[in-house]
Amino acid sequence: MEISLIRHGKSLVTENNSMTVKEFKKWVEKYDNSGVFEESLYPSDTKEKILAAKIVITSHLTRAIESAKLLNPKVNIINDPLFREVELPTFSLKLIDVKLRPSVWAVILRSLWFIGVSTECESLIVAKLRAKEASQQLIDYACKYQSVILVGHGFFNMLIAKELEKKGWKGKRKREAKHWQCNTYFVSN
């Protein structure tokens, strides 16, 4: 049996101007509701996996659904919010005057999230519990179909991969985290 985790494609949201944390929150909403760039070429192993898969799961976010359809236009997708990306914390307006690029805000807020700040979002502990549930759902699909694909998101895919490894699934030592990359995990029947 195998489970492949694919990270979605690059978002159509490319705005990278400095903004306040309040503006960044709106930027994230736009990012979550936008699609992805169509590429002229996709990684061959990613393409092979999704073309051969008997079942493809995505989160309910547009970038994951569109990515799966770009990789295989004929694919039937099951989308499920269980597989959504982990959110970033938000802050009060005390930081209103600080303007940073979205990529900087993302690093700062994700770092704060990893050390326990979870204002207006799920905590790392809750996200890990969700990843445990998501990994079990993928395992259940793999038991039924032998091969399952998840087109998901960077951080949540990482949490799922760790859960799969805890349950005895084997994959590459070094996970690929770039857009369109595929990480496959195996277990003997």
pLDDT tens string 148-161:
999 999 999 999 99
**96 has a pLDDT exceeding 80:** no
Res. 68 pLDDT band, cuts 50 70 90:
very high
104-144 tens-digit pLDDT: 999 999 999 999 988 889 999 999 999 999 999 999 999 99
* Rounded-to-integer distance, Cα 166 and Cα 116, Å: 23
Return mean pLDDT, the chain.
92
pTM for this one? 0.92
Confidence tier at 93 by pLDDT (50, 70, 90): low
Q: How many domains does the chain have?
A: 1
Average pLDDT over residues 41-49: 94
Phi, then psi, of 26 in degrees rounded to 5: -70, -35
Residue 64 pLDDT greater than 80, yes or no: yes
CA distances, 49 to each of 41, 66, 141 (Å): 15, 17, 16
Which residues span the domain enclosing 149? 2-186
| DSSP annotation of 94 | G
pLDDT at residue 92 greater than cutoff 90: no
Tokens at 32, concatenated:
């979550």
Angle at 84 between CA 3 and CA 182, to 5 degrees: 35
Return the CATH number at 130. 3.40.50.1240
Task: Pick left, alpha or beta for residue 47 (phi over 0 → left; psi -120 to 50 → alpha; otherwise beta).
Answer: alpha
Find, among 144, 179, 157, the residue nearest to 46 by Cα.
Answer: 179
**Cβ-based neighbours of 112, under 8 Å, separated by 6 or more:** 89
Over 60: is that where the pLDDT of 29 sits? yes
